A and B are shown apart, each in its own frame.
Chain A
Amino acid sequence: MARFDDVAAIDGPEFNRRSFLDTLLNVGFVSTAAAIAYPVTRFLIPPKSGEPATASVVVAKTAALKPNSGIVFKFGNKPAIIVRTADGEVRAYSAVCTHLECTVQFKADTSQLWCACHNGIYDLSGNVVSGPPPRGLEKFIVNVRGDVGEEDIVVSRA
């Protein structure tokens, strides 16, 4: 049986070619092993974003959302909005206006959701009050999670 290390014992003009070939082969094996090991290792290290986030999103800390205000955020590939009513209740809706898909915003002076494009107005239950929108805003589920004093507002699809 020919073993790799037998090769080293043989002298002569073939010696250099053989050991060169062996070195080449070893280098080749090692580099391909590295070319495999590197992506696999990087794959195993958890990515920054943690986990797929299209079903639920952590929006903000509860303290960041003041009464009678709203925050627009990214939910998947569409905008959504969380609002805190004057009584303190937190609600979440899709911020895509049902008329022509502009983004709605919170209007503090009337405590309503307003679409700047054609003046569509929704109340804080997501129902259309006036203007062109044909339907109300899609409602999402709000959960408050986390350590006391540091709670996160988490919005997820129904």
Chain B
Amino acid sequence: MTASAPAKPAVVTADAGPAGDRGRGLRRVIAYALLISYSLLMFVPFAWTVITSFKTLPDSTRLTFIPQPITLEAWEYALTNLEPSILVLFWNSLMIATIVTVSNLVLGSLAGYAFARLRFPGREALFVVVLATLMIPDQLRVVPIYILFSDIGLTIGIGQYIAVIVIMAISATSIFLLRQYFLTIPRDLEEAARIDGAGFFTTFWRVMLPLATPALAAVAILQFQGTWNSFFWPIVFLKNVGHLTLPIGLTFFREAGGLSNNWPPLMATVVVATIPILVLYIFFQRYFVEGIAAAGVKG
């Protein structure tokens, strides 16, 4: 139970002394052993997914940690036999996530800067509107948006993509995170730019935006991950099989694409759907952790 205590070192001094030291050393070893086992438990299902993707179907339901035999059959099947091809799905996911991310960066930084620095009547009221949107559940919006969009042709053909992109084009979280960051940048620099005769856009573009790189990176990563993983809006709007994103494709393969119990290729598809985010997480882990915490404290 020691591990659960808020072990500010000062609190534990009660059991100092040689005997206490030995007891503490042992407890420390046990605590670390537990921590490491729990951490491993976090990775096990993912590791199992990767292992399974190199197995044959009969082997996939056995507890073998090294596939017997190791085979690329499942990968071959997943890459060539699926309809639609997972390469198409990958491309769809990548396009949507990239466009949504760029759009959030552009619109979010402009608005975030204006809410942080520019004075205009109604600014506070508009910002309240921005924050209020965080409390409106998507499920309440989906029906009217679906009807509006079907009236203007965004529920058929390529319009389905545009629908998903437009809905996610700007989020209150992006604006909020960037505004908070702009508030922390000292005013001196932009005032100097103003005195030199720079307009508001030039000041924003040349002076403030480069200074906001860490916040832009955090927003970019959170948005990319959120859009890449998104399920609700894509499953409502993406109907043409060739238009699906990876998460919707996975659902489709299980239900209609004949992969319901064919575990190895299904797991290969799961790996493909997860790898880009995994790579982002390995390289930019800090931004995930800090971005979530910052978005959480917003209030």
Chains A and B belong together in one complex: no
